[in-house]
Structure 1
Amino acid sequence: MKALAFVNTSETSAVTEFILLGFPGCQEMQIFLFSLFLGVYIFTIMGNGTIACAVKWDQRLHTPMYILLGNFAFLEIWYITTSVPGMLVNFLSETKTISFVACFLQFYFFTSLGTTEVYFLCIMAYDRYLAICHPLHYPTVMTPRLCYFLMSLCWVFGFLSYSVSTVQLSQLPFCGPNVINHFMCDMDPLTALSCAPAPITEIIFYTLSSLIIILTLLYILGSYTLLLIAVLKVPSAASRTKAFSTCGSHLTVVCLFFGALLAMYASPTSDNPAAFQKIMTLFYSVVTPFLNPLVYSLRNKDMKAALKKLLRIE
């Protein structure tokens, strides 16, 4: 795929950098937020990184379910890295600037990795549906080869989905002002700064976002509904409790992630307060990667055993 051109060629564009206001507050508050998000970032990187390594090095975890978990953890590391490091720099910076090119690169990678995560959640729901609803056919259907193929499709389609919208957005004229009331470059604050209306760009972006979010959410909820129906037919109370616990945890993260996405991207949110947009973005860009090690992996006995072996904990 050719490299995306994030250079605004319009003669009317005078903006070469943007100012990210981030989270307002005094210096003490900025230092507190810096410490808080630094801790969250370190835990997220260490937790997801440990899970990815455990899946890679433990032969017992070379099954589709754990391969998906390991790659999902790897994805979460890159996803949170698109926003938090820049946020941390801004907490300690006086200028809080980001270059024009860096801003649109951040927007592209943030939306692409977020979309990839949505597709990954669909595959994980499909994997659990097959394992519980069709256990006899599961080994022959969900083979490692199919698993890697589906994961490859997630990455490819994730990075293709918003390539056109990103190029269109970067070609808009930005004459000033250049102040973004957000902690990162996102669709609404960027279109608000354009000195020319861009209805087609916004329609394409929000239509695509709505289709991706709503269709994938319906698929995931449908899969888990069928899964829960199958669980209710299991005669063992202990097995039902275990399955409900696992599904409940997964659905909690799915609802948190998709709830924030729906609020932000299923429809234009330029009329919403900036604080609302920041909080919603935090939920799906920081909170869900932070929760991933706790919800998806660390509660699993096989994963715990692999982590203890990797960390040499007796």
Structure 2
Amino acid sequence: MNALKETNFTFSNQTGFYRGKVRDIYYFGNRMAMVASDRISAFDVILPKAIPYKGQVLNQIATRNLEATSDICPNWLEATPDPNVAIGITCETYPVEMVIRGYLAGHAWREYRDGKRSVCGVELPDGLKENDKLPQPIITPTTKAHEGHDEDISRGQIIAKGLVSEAEYLQLENYTKRLFERGTELAKERGLILVDTKYEFGKLDGTIYLIDEIHTPDSSRYFYLEGYEERQQKGEPQKQLSKEFVRQWLIANGFQGKDGQKIPEMTDEVVNSISDRYLELYEKVTGEPLDKQDYSQVNERIKNSIIKGINKQ
């Protein structure tokens, strides 16, 4: 199966390189080229097989949503010259990820189920069920780890540790709430519920920018709006479009990223099913099927698009 697992380019004017869990980032002074590979991670572990079209799905959804929210918050993106490439400014990244939740799902639900009623310093009422809508969206930040697991952290801890100044953190919170409100509106137009998501921010010359991807299946969880209330009343699982199904498959097969656990075998059938889910999400979120890229000369195509995009001032 064709997929883009990684890139290994060297450019004459390159000033740095960083390989993340999913992206390969090439730095060119105050600008950068971000390659969305087809790698997939869960529980902060990169899984052994890449997922066809996943990078293209992430990159193109992120581009749409960055453009659709640019009136709320400045963002890093300048151009998307290739299905897997985004080019923009390089910022100094804040060392926290701003996670916001409108519903009790995923990690927050697992914490709540296990008896915790405070998540990242935010108190939750008793009596909630999995996937219930919260009284109001809550912000549950995490540390941003280059390696290993991100850790829950509270607003008070962030400010006390000096990770972000109080004034800037309040601005990050304001942007997060407004972006989530916009994302919720956009999702509703497509018959979806934006359950939770995360935003990353950076700063350049005193200005805060939204960076990385937003409202993609890797950074967000979506439920189908139709039938949500009925399923919730019956105590049935919600129909969702997100990466949670990958986590659930791993959990069912005995893997949660803990020491000593082995990643289950990713058969061709499993890989194809994950790819199909990403394609489904793209079509549902955008209203149109993905124009699937040709993988035959993918590395050459990406390299040329970076050269042209970076050299175009």
TM > 0.5 between the two?
Answer: no
Greater C-alpha radius of gyration: 1
Q: Larger % of strand: which?
A: 2
Question: TM-score band (shorter)?
Answer: under 0.3
TM-score by length of 2: 0.26
